[in-house]
Structure 1
Amino acid sequence: MIARYFPGPVAAGVLLTALYTLLISSADGITKMFAASYAAPQLFALSGGVVAVLSLVANRQGGTLRGMRTTCPVAMAIRVLATVAGTVAFFYAFRLLPFAEVFLFIAMIPLFAALMSGPVLGEAVRPQVWVALALGAVGVMCLFPEGVTSVGPGHLVALAAVVLGTVSMVASRYIGQRDDNLLAQVFYPNLALMVTMGAVLPFVFEPMALADLGWALAYAVLLFGARWVLVAALKMLPAFVVTPLMNLQFLWMVGIGIAIFGEVPGGMVFLGAAIIICAGAWLVYDQVMAVRREIPVKPRVMPAE
């Protein structure tokens, strides 16, 4: 049904991004659980290895394993470094801040993406986009449940995580425009995560209960699905359109925060989320109209009587 009103790639990109928000929010919930009791390497050494293996298994073509070669080694290296550092930063942001405040910083990603998309990707950012991003910034300010009173270590860590995460996403978009081997973008960052976290793990390891091990494996599966879906979405839509849509993650985070952690956001939090989601919808509409202007309308051929 959605394909009747939106161009195919745009519709697919929107749906994939929405699915990504559900998967990544579930993974974030597990991250917050782990952050309360374990150090980052305890979760990421295992999950990085599992995701890397799943990437190899899934990357089949014609019944045989497809290689993980990439045509953009420099951009891939940038994505790997940004992903590893950003993942660790987000881990400690979840330890130091409530879910709603972490989302505040996640919602800033479109602003950074818009700044990077022009010089890095050569994607024109029209005035409508900047208006939508400004509207999103207004919504972001509402997401402080008790107002902006001070800046603590958690806020600085979350800001660093967002900058690094945006670099990773823009690099993904750059690679996706030039290389159709999508799972290579999932494989290499998680392989690097496994290696780096594995090197630190002996110094911070604590025995894990069987249930916690199960949660770690569930995290790996959710993360694999989320990153695969996100790479596919970034191949279909510009980064500054995908990233505002990711603000749908707020709805899942509110539900998880209430059900699991007992965090009930105030009314201003929901108001801010509504403003940001509207700004994201505006960007999607702007992208749809741009695609339609670029695609000539072919005359309909009437069937012979």
Structure 2
Amino acid sequence: MTAQNTRAGIVMMIAATFIFAMQDGISRHLAGAYNTYMVVMVRYWFFAAFVIAVAARRPGGLRAMARVAHPGWQALRAVLLVVEIYVMIAAFIRLGLIDTHAVFISYPLLIAALSGPILGEKVGWRRWAAIGAGFLGILVVLEPGGGMFTPAALIPLAAASMFAVYSLATRYVSRRDSGEVSFFWTGVLGAAFATAVGLWFWQPMSAGDWGWMALLCVTAVVAHGLLIRAYEVAEASALQPFAYLQLVWGAGIGMSVFGDVLRPNVALGAAIVVGAGLFTLWRARRAGA
């Protein structure tokens, strides 16, 4: 059994969120010049190679990783994550990193709201109140009657909804499939789907951008490795609050690299959403205790 070290887990989670924010910036740069489907396809090739290499070193090897209790749900998870990445990159291009993340961070609230009808989990009135407050925060971000309340603003909300369903499906399959098995299927089936779509949109890429693509792929492996290790040494409830730091890193990269502007309503709305998300996490932890 892996020894628990909450402080090390938190450090690794913070590092992972920073690297994920860097990936968002690189994805926005590459998708601004090349087709999104091709960018995601190449990224998934490296992801699949990584999970296959990891699986080969586990007891039982690839054969053990390929045995699953929920193949249909695993396939749904893998495809849903690829489509969510497509949608998220589209949001980066249309809205920028700041506004996209300010809406996307609503996904923990969506998970809480959907956990009842999908998984049969009990959601009390306090968490429902927090979910409602979080969506008021989303309205503050979108500023009805203001500049961001456009059909494009629904793009990151759609991505958040897909990621919430993906997370709930992951929770469902974890009842019989291990995390390593789910990770393996996410990479391999995701690569197969991304390739089936991306090969139709292949474009020549400059040498410099191949360097950015290589950095995107390497950082993906490092970030996922840190995330896996963090959850091995610390409880998820202790780590989850630090996942919101990706919004902070993303805002910094958006402003410093892409010239994004942090509007007051976005900062206030994001703070409301994060506060509501932390409250739902605290209530879930209390209920579990």
Q: Percent identity?
A: 27
Cα pair 1:71 1:178 within 8 Å, conserved: yes
Cα pair 1:173 1:231 within 8 Å, conserved: no
The alignment yields a C-alpha RMSD, in angstroms, of 3.5
How far apart, CA to CA, are the structure 1 residues paired with 2:13 and 2:288? 18
How far apart, CA to CA, are the structure 2 residues paired with 1:199 and 1:179? 26
1:154 to partner: Cα distance: 2.6
Task: Give, as a single letter, the amino acid of the residue that structure 2 aligns with 1:190.
Answer: G
Deviations, residues 12-65 of structure 1 (Å, cap 9, x unaligned): 987776555333222211111112101112211211111011011123225955
How far apart, CA to CA, are the structure 1 residues paired with 2:34 and 2:110? 31
SS of equivalent to 1:101: helix
How far apart, CA to CA, are the structure 2 residues paired with 1:14 and 1:120? 30
Deviations, residues 192-246 of structure 1 (Å, cap 9, x unaligned): 34333333445432221223222222222333455563798599658xx95x764
Change (3 A) 1:136 1:222: farther
Unaligned runs of 5+ in 1: 1-7, 293-305
Change (3 A) 1:14 1:69: farther
SS of equivalent to 1:274: helix
- Alignment partner, residue 69 of structure 1: 67
Q: Is residue 277 of structure 2 the alignment partner of residue 277 of structure 1?
A: no
SS of equivalent to 2:33: coil
Q: TM-score, normalised by structure 2?
A: 0.81
Task: Give, as a single letter, the amino acid of the residue that structure 2 aligns with 1:28.
Answer: D
Unaligned runs of 5+ in 2: none
- Alignment partner, residue 195 of structure 1: 192
- Alignment partner, residue 256 of structure 2: 259
- Alignment partner, residue 109 of structure 1: 107
How far apart, CA to CA, are the structure 2 residues paired with 1:99 and 1:69? 38
Higher RCO (CA 8 Å, separation ≥ 6 residues): 2
How far apart, CA to CA, are the structure 2 residues paired with 1:39 and 1:246? 29
Mapping of residues 147-166 of structure 1, within 5 Å: 148-149=146-147, 151-166=149-164
Paired residues in the alignment total: 282
How far apart, CA to CA, are the structure 2 residues paired with 1:231 and 1:147? 45
- Alignment partner, residue 123 of structure 1: 121
Change (3 A) 1:15 1:276: farther
More helix as a share of residues = 2
- Alignment partner, residue 178 of structure 1: 176
The structure with more radius of gyration: 1
Deviations, residues 102-158 of structure 1 (Å, cap 9, x unaligned): 123312313321222112223221222222222322332332479645654533333
How far apart, CA to CA, are the structure 2 residues paired with 1:131 and 1:207? 51
Task: Give, as a single letter, the amino acid of the residue that structure 2 aligns with 1:29.
Answer: G
Cα pair 2:37 2:194 within 8 Å, conserved: yes
